[in-house]
Amino acid sequence: MLVREFLMLESARVAIDTTGLTDQVMDAVPLEEYVDEFVNKFTSELRSLAMQVQSAVDRIPRWFGSAVRVKMQVPREWSEQPYAIPQVYVGSAFFTILSDRDIEDVLEDKEDFRSPEEMADYLHLVSEMRSPGSTSRSDRIITLYTARPVRDRSIYTNASTVPPGIFLTSDPEDAMGIAADSGGRDVWELGIKMSDVAQTLDRGKVGWYQVVGTSPVPIDYIQLIHNT
């Protein structure tokens, strides 16, 4: 049975999607009398998650209108104490929440999204869920690095903008490694507003980012630090 609840937002609405949840629990719980108990438990957890997502979306200065929904994925592991993995969908793309601010399965390729607007909403929400307030710190300039094909050198030389969706890293050595592994790439250092990027991976000293936007994004400066 399809059950959906909605939390209304100024910029989006979050759906609590329990489609197929009962069947998933039935496949994971050995005793049928416990099914309702775990369905109710996971539904309650979804409501709490939806409130967290609502708060995150409300903090994003510009939302492009993507539909948002939360649902649970229950692994088919026979157990008296089944567990569920929360998933947040932004349009057609989703990410997984393993624990507070521990986000996995983050999509990064343009091909994973139906539009630049959906990609921007998705990446901003990931960033805001990981670091509350990150999308509204619009004036802070951060220094990041990117490995771009040599054939694009003329595009980035003295550029005042960069394309949305390009990969950036906080560590120049990481960018050098990517350039070496990929072959035929320059490494660039650039300054960009924090609100124009979304962090897709946090490895402690190294953070991975993507430029967020629906058109070329302004940068503070760019300089070539390694050429092939």
Could you state, in order of their start, the residue ranges of all structural domains in the chain?
4-130, 138-226
Torsion, CA 172, CA 176, CA 179, CA 180, rounded to 10: -170
Q: For the chain, what is the radius of gyration of the CA atoms?
A: 20
pLDDT of residue 100: 65
Is residue 165 a contact partner of residue 118, using CB atoms and an 8 Å limit?
Answer: no
CATH of domain 138-226: 3.20.170
Residue-by-residue DSSP string for 29-48: -SSGGGHHHHHHHHHHHHHH
Structure-token pair, residue 49: 């998650």
For the chain, 228 residues long, the average pLDDT of each consecutive 10-residue run is 42 85 88 88 94 92 92 82 91 88 85 91 90 78 96 96 94 96 95 88 85 92 93
pLDDT of residue 9: 38
Q: At what angle do helices 116-130 and 35-59 cross, to 10 degrees?
A: 100
Predicted TM-score of the model (pTM)? 0.78
Beta bridge partners of 145: 169, 189
pLDDT of residue 6: 41
Alpha-helix runs per DSSP H in the chain? 21-28, 35-59, 116-130, 153-156, 172-182
